[in-house]
């Protein structure tokens, strides 16, 4: 299976990559990260530890939507199909608000908009998966969308930012799940997971 992992250089993303890489005959991994050096180092580390040569890294910063678009195009240039996307990259605690180069609240863009954009741009590759494409997203419960201040220009807090991104992502996951559940021509599964605590 060919699997794209965002944030594959640390945390759950790296842990999943390490487990999947142990079966070179079954898994080819694309580690998407925002540091070329760290991405290359992680891919090399996993190749040496597991003997799996099918591990590559792809430079992409979810904090820049143009970068996300270019990353999706690069994947399409290099691959004819994709079996899965696992999202580990995200923005959590922050001492102050981060406004992206696109002028958007960092939490909302990185935790929701960029991830949704990446999925939508890669649906055609996922639809070509012989095993059935899979998209795995962190969709922790709780929170609400503040429709009057989604970009938190009036009042900012990282907790509100995280929760708004999660709510939007849950809505996206449900919409995509229902669409493909009723689509008899293509099969993509949308799977939500929740971590019990900050890791």
- Let me know if 94 is exposed, middle or buried by CB neighbors in 10 A (0-12, 13-18, 19+): middle
Query: pLDDT tens digits for 121-178?
Result: 999 999 999 989 999 999 988 889 999 999 999 999 999 999 999 999 999 999 999 9
CB 125 within 8 A of CB 72: no
Structure tokens, 60: 């992409």
Residue 13 lies in a domain: no
Q: Residue 24 has what pLDDT?
A: 86
CATH number for the domain harbouring residue 98: 3.40.50.720
Position of tokens 């487990």? 19
Query: pLDDT tens digits for 70-110?
Result: 999 999 999 999 999 999 999 988 999 999 999 999 999 99
Question: Where in the sequence is the domain holding 144, given as residue range(s)?
Answer: 60-193
Residue 26 lies in a domain: no
Structure tokens, 181: 């559940």
Q: For residue 199, is pLDDT > 60? A: no
For the full predicted model, state whether its pTM sits above 0.85: yes
Domain tally, the chain: 1
Residue 75 lies in a domain: yes
For the chain, the farthest-separated pair of C-alpha atoms sits apart, in whole angstroms, at 52
Residue 139 lies in a domain: yes
CB 129 within 8 A of CB 74: no
């Amino acid at each position: 299976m060919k699997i794209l992992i965002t944030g594959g250089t640390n945390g759950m993303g790296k842990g999943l990559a390490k487990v999947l890489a142990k079966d070179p005959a079954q898994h080819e991994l694309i580690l998407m990260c925002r540091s070329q050096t760290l991405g290359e180092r992680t891919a090399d580390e996993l190749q040496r530890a597991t003997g799996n040569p099918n591990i590559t890294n792809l430079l992409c910063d979810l904090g820049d939507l143009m970068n996300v678009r270019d990353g999706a195009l690069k994947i399409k240039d290099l691959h004819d199909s994709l079996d899965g996307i696992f999202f580990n990259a995200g923005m959590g605690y922050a001492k102050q608000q981060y406004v992206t180069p696109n002028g958007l609240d960092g939490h909302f863009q990185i935790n929701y908009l960029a991830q949704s954009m990446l999925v939508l741009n890669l649906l055609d590759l996922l639809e070509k998966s012989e095993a059935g494409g899979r998209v795995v997203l962190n969709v922790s419960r709780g929170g609400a969308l503040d429709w009057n201040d989604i970009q938190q220009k009036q009042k900012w807090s990282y907790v509100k930012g995280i929760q708004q991104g999660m709510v939007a992502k849950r809505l996206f996951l449900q919409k995509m799940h229902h669409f493909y559940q009723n689509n008899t021509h293509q099969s993509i599964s949308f799977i939500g997971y929740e971590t019990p605590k900050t890791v």
